[in-house]
Structure 1
Amino acid sequence: MNAIRLDGKVAFITGGANGIGEGAAMNIARYGGDIAIADNDAKNGERVAAAVRALGRKAIYIPTDVMHTEQIDSAVKQTATHFGRLDILVNNAGGSRRVSFLEQSERSWRKHIDLNFISMLTATQAAAGAMISAGNGGTIINIASSEALRAAPGYAVYAACKAGMVSFTKSMSLELANHDIHVHALAPDMIKTPGLSPYFDLASAEMNAARDRYIPLARLGSTDEIGNVIVFLASGMASYLNGLTIPVDGGALASSGWTRSPTTGEWNLYHG
């Protein structure tokens, strides 16, 4: 039963001040891990670090703009020095905005790539180096998206970055296996976070009806539910798993074109 515990382990989380990153930090801490939060949101970064310490775990907040690779590299090194080890990396930082690709500027392309993909490459290289030096193995978890596994009109560059993240996860799971470093990706869909509200009116009847039609579990996911999967993958319970991409989406990817009738509750293909 102790295999699920993360006692003595240290997690470095990019974008850990809100949303999925905050959920990861709190759940890892509940299972015994210590936390380093790398984020450019100082107020919420310090808030989450304080909440982790309130659970009896150690936590630091490191001001980090993931658009600057040198800041990520420095934050990883600071974490390894402060705690004396690094066991878990959660590549969570990212973001997007809806725009037609034909109207998207090169500057916007590069911003999407730097934020969603280059930041992951930088953190992975730095963290894997620290894990290898310590000789304790480790776990790297990349927060991709359901858009990595399906079309995403209006989010083409973002989706391409997330698809690249999934491919990178598979390659790293082989390259780092000899060091007992496990690499996985999660593909969340509709998770209730502060970043979701600008895109969707979560209180609208139309939104709720669409949610019930397309998501088999008929509800949004929570950051704790993402955090639970992260804890599992980082624990001894997942010791023979490597290179996975797990959709944490209430079954939305599985439904793919099937919709639930609001009147009969039956599933139908391409209508509802």
Structure 2
Amino acid sequence: MHNIHHKLHDKVAVVTGGSGVLCSAMAFELARQGVKIAIVNRTLKNGQLIADQIQEAGGQAIAVEGDVLNRASLEKAREQILAHFSKVDILINGAGGNHPDAITSEETYSGKEVDQSFFELDESGFSNVFASNFTGTFLTSQVFGKALLEQKSPVILNVSSMSAFSPMTKVPAYSAAKSAINNFTMWMAVHFAKSNLRVNAIAPGFFLTNQNHDLLIDAEGNHTARSQKILNNTPMKRFGIPKDLLGTMLWLVDESYSSFVTGITVPVDGGFMAYSGV
């Protein structure tokens, strides 16, 4: 259980992709700290489930429909949130993910016939995955940015990945987008530094989520070969669990702890990035 961060009380956080395993954990913890939560999801009912659970636990939360690739949809979401909570202090850009259209069948090119070699990757599938991770972060930051700048110590927290530093095999669009997130986090941090808006990112190592479950766990409930590779390269020899992210998140969003920290991406990875494999 994390200590209470009194400076966070009564702040308002917008969490995109807030119904996902990791972002919902962040939303729950912020609500526990007295932050008012707006969950923004493409599918309203998914966000509503999380908002309801936060309220049942005594927090304040609303769910708002919003597509991070549609400016008009985001602007509508912003108006609803401002009408309800009257301000925005924290933006967590959690929406993103992957899609089979942007994944190669094999880790390295063999020249053999496979379902989806590099040369069969669908251009629109590739572009969509890149956009949902990167362009969605850009658009959401743009749409909520002016509201953030009206507050005393606003924060944007982007969500990166281990794949940003060293691309995972099979997922070129996702990896490229997350690498762009790291760069854009630095760019925005510099751009808004004098305006007091801090911009950082969190890079989870390997966490079991609904999205990657079938890649990492087989039908019998055992680790897949890919899982085994990950664990072999994670010195702590386990997958992350959602609460592993929360201390880093609280540090970065609480200005009294990190007022001079901007433009960084923090790995939370059980040592994965530090390990050379030897």
Both structures adopt the same fold (TM-score exceeding 0.5)? yes
Q: What whole-Å deviation, never above 9, does each CA across 1:173-224 have from its counterpart, x for those lacking one? A: 1111122111001111211211121211163155565454211111111122
**Partner amino acid for 2:139?**
T
Q: Name the residue aligned to 1:221.
A: 240
**Partner amino acid for 1:93?**
A
User: How many Å apart are 1:4 and its aligned residue?
Assistant: 5.8
TM-score by structure 2 length? Answer: 0.86
Per the alignment, do residues 178 and 110 of structure 1 end up closer, same or farther by CA in structure 2, a change over 3 Å counting? same
Gaps (5+ residues) in structure 1?
259-268
- Structure 1 stretch displaced more, 240-249 or 54-63: 54-63
3-state SS of 2:62 partner: strand
Q: Name the residue aligned to 2:143.
A: 126
- Picking from 204, 212, 215, the partner of 2:222 is 204
3-state SS of 1:13 partner: strand
Q: Name the residue aligned to 2:154.
A: 138
Aligned mates of 2:223, 2:174 — CA distance in 1: 28
Q: Percent identity?
A: 28
TM-score by structure 1 length? Answer: 0.88
Q: Name the residue aligned to 1:89.
A: 91
**Partner amino acid for 1:223?**
P
Q: Name the residue aligned to 2:190.
A: 174
3-state SS of 1:36 partner: strand
- The answer to whether the Cα contact below 8 Å between 1:101 and 1:156 also exists between their aligned partners in 2 is no
Q: What whole-Å deviation, never above 9, does each CA across 1:58-96 have from its counterpart, x for those lacking one? A: 111012232323212321232123211101100011111
Q: What whole-Å deviation, never above 9, does each CA across 1:112-160 have from its counterpart, x for those lacking one? A: 122111110111112221112x232311010011101002222112111
> How many residues of Structure 1 are paired with residues of Structure 2 in the alignment?
257
Per the alignment, do residues 254 and 141 of structure 1 end up closer, same or farther by CA in structure 2, a change over 3 Å counting? same
Aligned mates of 2:56, 2:236 — CA distance in 1: 33
- The answer to whether the Cα contact below 8 Å between 2:39 and 2:51 also exists between their aligned partners in 1 is yes
Q: Name the residue aligned to 1:240.
A: 260
- The answer to whether the Cα contact below 8 Å between 2:216 and 2:223 also exists between their aligned partners in 1 is no
Per the alignment, do residues 248 and 196 of structure 1 end up closer, same or farther by CA in structure 2, a change over 3 Å counting? same
Indicate the RMSD between aligned Cα atoms, in angstroms.
Answer: 1.9
Q: Name the residue aligned to 1:253.
A: 273
Gaps (5+ residues) in structure 2?
105-116
Q: What whole-Å deviation, never above 9, does each CA across 1:25-80 have from its counterpart, x for those lacking one? A: 01111111110001123333111101211232211101223232321232123212
Q: Name the residue aligned to 2:125.
A: 108
3-state SS of 1:93 partner: coil
